[in-house]
Amino acid sequence: MAEALLAIRDLHAWYGESHILHGMTFDVNPGEVVTLLGRNGAGKTTTMRAIMGMMAKRKGSVRYEGHELIRLKSNRIARYGLAYCPEERGIFASLNVRENLMLPPKVKDGGLPLEQIYRLFPNLMERGASQGTKLSGGEQQMLAIARILRTGAKLLLLDEPTEGLAPVIVQQIGSTIRMLREQGFTVLLVEQNFRFAATVADRHYVVEHGQVIDMIPNAAIEANREKLKAYLGV
Amino acid sequence: MFDLIGVPPQALFGQLLLGLINGAFYALLSLGLAVIFGLMNVINFTHGAQYMMGAFCSYMLLTYFGIPYWGALVLVPIIVGATGIIIERLFISRLYHLDHLYGLLLTFGLALIIEGMFRKQFGSSGLPYTNPIPGGTNLGFMFLPYYRAWVVVSSLVVCLGTWFMIEKTQLGSYLRAATERPDLVQAFGINVPRMITLTYGFGVGLAALAGVLAAPIYSVNPIMGANLIIVVFAVVVIGGMGSILGSIITGFGLGVIEGLTKVFYPEASNTVIFIIMAIVLMLRPQGLFGTPK
C-alpha cells in the first residue's frame, strides 16, 4: 500500500525539559477526516504543533506527500500545504476581520475563492471592518477556519474547533467539516468531545501520555463506546 | 496683536519653525524605535549612534567619493540599514529568548563602541556639511530657509508613508500579526525571523535617513546622536512604546511645544519635554497612544 498523505512515525517533542510526546505513530490518508481523541494533557495539541514545526525540540519522522518535514521550520512546512487552526483560535487583535482573513499567504493553487468563503460564512463579510477579537467566539472560530481555506493548503489541522461554543455553532462547524471533506480537503482534528467527533470523522486515534494507544474506525464507534469512555474518562 | 503678548512675530514663528525641525527629527527617530520595539520588543539604544552614522556616512560619501546630498539620501539608509541587519543577525537575534534588559544593555554597549570608534577617527569637534538647498524666502512674517522646509516636509512624508505601510498594507498586517503571535504567523508560511531582521534594518535606515537630513543643519559629530537620543526616548515614552502614529504625532508635537517654550519661558525649554514625560507617566503610564499591557 502506498504511503499515507501524512505519515507520523515515532514522533517525540519536548517543552523545555518536559518530554511530552513519546513516539506518536499514525497515518492520515488523502480525503480523510481523522481525529485525535484523548484527555487533557495527553499530547494532542503538542502533536499538532510538532507536525507544524512549532516545537523547539522534536524528533522522529513527519512525512507529508513523501516529504520529510521533521527538520524544517514552520514557515517551510506551511508551504507544502499544511495549515493549522489553533485551539485558542489565534485571531489577531491588531487586525480587522478582513485583514485576519487575508493574512495567511497563498501556499498552493486550489484554495477556496473568497466568494465561496463569504457564502459559507456571511458574517465575516458583514463584519469585515471590525476588530478581529470583537467577534463572538463562534465567529472567531469561523474566521480561524475560513482564513486557512483560502491558502490552498490541503491538510487542515483543526485543534478543538468546537470548544466552548453553543450547540448550534458546533453543528455549523460539523457541517463545515463535512463540506470540506466533500471538497477534497484532508482534516486532522483534535477533539475532547467524541460525540461530535463521531459525526464528522472517518477514524479516531486515541492518544494517552504522548502515544497513540488505539485506533477506532468511525463505523465501529458504537461497538467501542465503553472502551472509549474508559480511555477518555467520561 | 503679537506686540500685545510682548513677542515679535519673527521670534515666535522662528522658534515655531525650529520646533518643527526638531520635531521632524524626534518623529523620524522615535518612529524607528517604535517599529523596532513593536515587532522585536527590543529597546534599541544604538539608535542615536545609527543616526550619527547616517550623518557621517553622508559626509564620507561626499568627501571620499564625491557623492552629493541627493545620492546620500538614497544610499545612506541602505548602507547603514545593512550594518543594522548585520548587527541584528550577529548579536541581537541571540537575545530574543532573554529578558528585554539584555537587548537594552547590548544595544547600549554597541552605541558606546560605535561612538567611540567615530570619535577616535574624526575627533569630537564636528565636521561641516554643505547645505544642498541654500537660500530661502521671506514669507512676510518670517524668513523660511528652503532646506528647513524640505526637512519638515520630507520627514512628514516618510513618517506618513511608514504609517501607511504598517497600518494599511498586507506587509504591515504581517508585521502587526507577528507582533502578537510570531509562532502562528510563521506557521502560516511567513519567514518571521527574516522579517524581524529586515524590520530592524528598516528602523535603522530611518535613523540613518534622519542623520542625512541633519548633516547640513547640525554639525556632523560623533556625539550628535547621544545628545538627541535622550530626548527621543522621552518622546517615545510620552507617545507610548511601539505606537506608530503616537510616535509621529508626539514627535512633531513636542518639537513645537519645545519651540514655543523657548519663546515664552526660555529657562524651561531644555526640560519641558521631561516635565511632560513625568506628567504623562503619572496620569497615563502606557503613554498617550499606547495600549495598557
pLDDT tens digits for range A169-201: 999 999 999 999 999 999 999 988 888 999 999
Question: Which of A196-200, B76-80, B102-106, B255-259 shows the highest mean pLDDT?
Answer: B76-80
Please answer yes or no on whether B189 and A73 come within 8 Å at the CB atom.
no
Q: Is the pLDDT of residue B293 over 70?
A: no
Q: Are A14 and A59 in contact (CB under 8 A)?
A: no
Cα–Cα distance, B196 to B213 (Å, whole number): 26
Residue A1 lies in a domain: no
Percent of chain A with pLDDT over 70: 99
Of A95, A99, A105, the CB nearest to B188: A105
Residue predicted with more confidence, B13 or B73: B73
pLDDT digits (tens, 9 = 90+) for B161-186: 999 999 999 999 999 999 999 999 99
Q: Is the pLDDT of residue B144 over 80?
A: yes
Residue B62 lies in a domain: yes
Q: What is the mean pLDDT of residues B198-217?
A: 96
Residue B290 lies in a domain: no
Chain A residues touching B181 at Cβ < 8 A: 90, 92
Residue B29 lies in a domain: yes
| Residue numbers of chain A with a pLDDT score lower than 70 | 1-2, 234
3-state DSSP assignment of residue B44: coil
B residues 164-223 lying closer than 8 A (beta carbon) to A: 170, 173-174, 176-177, 179-181, 183-192
Please answer yes or no on whether A99 and B173 come within 8 Å at the CB atom.
yes
What local confidence, expressed as pLDDT, does residue A222 receive?
85
What local confidence, expressed as pLDDT, does residue A92 receive?
94
Burial of A131 (0-12, 13-18, 19+ CB in 10 A): middle
* Residue of chain B minimizing CA distance to A150: B188
What local confidence, expressed as pLDDT, does residue A225 receive?
85
Q: Distance, in angstroms, between B168 CA and closest chain A CA?
A: 9
- Calculate the CA A114 to chain-centre distance: 21
Residue B174 lies in a domain: yes
Q: What is the mean pLDDT of residues B245-260?
A: 93
Percent of chain B with pLDDT over 70: 97
What local confidence, expressed as pLDDT, does residue B98 receive?
86
Q: Is the pLDDT of residue B11 over 70?
A: yes
Phi/psi at B152 (nearest 5 deg)?
A: -65, -45
* Residue of chain A minimizing CA distance to B194: A75
Question: Taking each helix axis from N to C terminus, what angle separates B170-180 and B192-214, rounded to the nearest 10 degrees?
Answer: 110
Q: Is the pLDDT of residue B234 over 60?
A: yes
Q: Is the pLDDT of residue B244 over 80?
A: yes
Domains in chain A, number: 1
Measure Cα distances from A151 to A78, A79, A161, A177, B166 in Å.
10, 10, 19, 17, 22
What local confidence, expressed as pLDDT, does residue A128 receive?
86
Cell, residue A20? 511530552
Summary mean pLDDT of chain B? 91
- Containing structural domain, residue B194: 23-118+145-222
Q: Are A153 and A81 in contact (CB under 8 A)?
A: yes
What local confidence, expressed as pLDDT, does residue B207 receive?
97
Residue B105 lies in a domain: yes
Torsion of CA A194, A196, A202, A203, to 10 degrees: -10
Q: Is the pLDDT of residue B210 over 60?
A: yes
- Containing structural domain, residue A61: 6-232
* Distance from the first to the final alpha carbon of chain B: 47
Q: Distance, in angstroms, between A153 CA and closest chain B CA?
A: 10
Domains in chain B, number: 1
Residue B89 lies in a domain: yes
Please answer yes or no on whether A75 and B173 come within 8 Å at the CB atom.
no
- Give the domain CATH number at A59: 3.40.50.300
Chain B residues touching A74 at Cβ < 8 A: 183, 186-187
- Give the contacts of A172 (CB within 8 A, at least 6 positions apart): A138, A142
Please answer yes or no on whether B188 and A104 come within 8 Å at the CB atom.
yes
Residue B279 lies in a domain: no
Q: Is the pLDDT of residue B81 over 90?
A: yes
What local confidence, expressed as pLDDT, does residue A206 receive?
93
DSSP A2: P
Rounded to 5°, angle at Cα A101 from A100 and A106: 115
Residue B271 lies in a domain: no
Of B170, B181, B191, the CB nearest to A102: B170
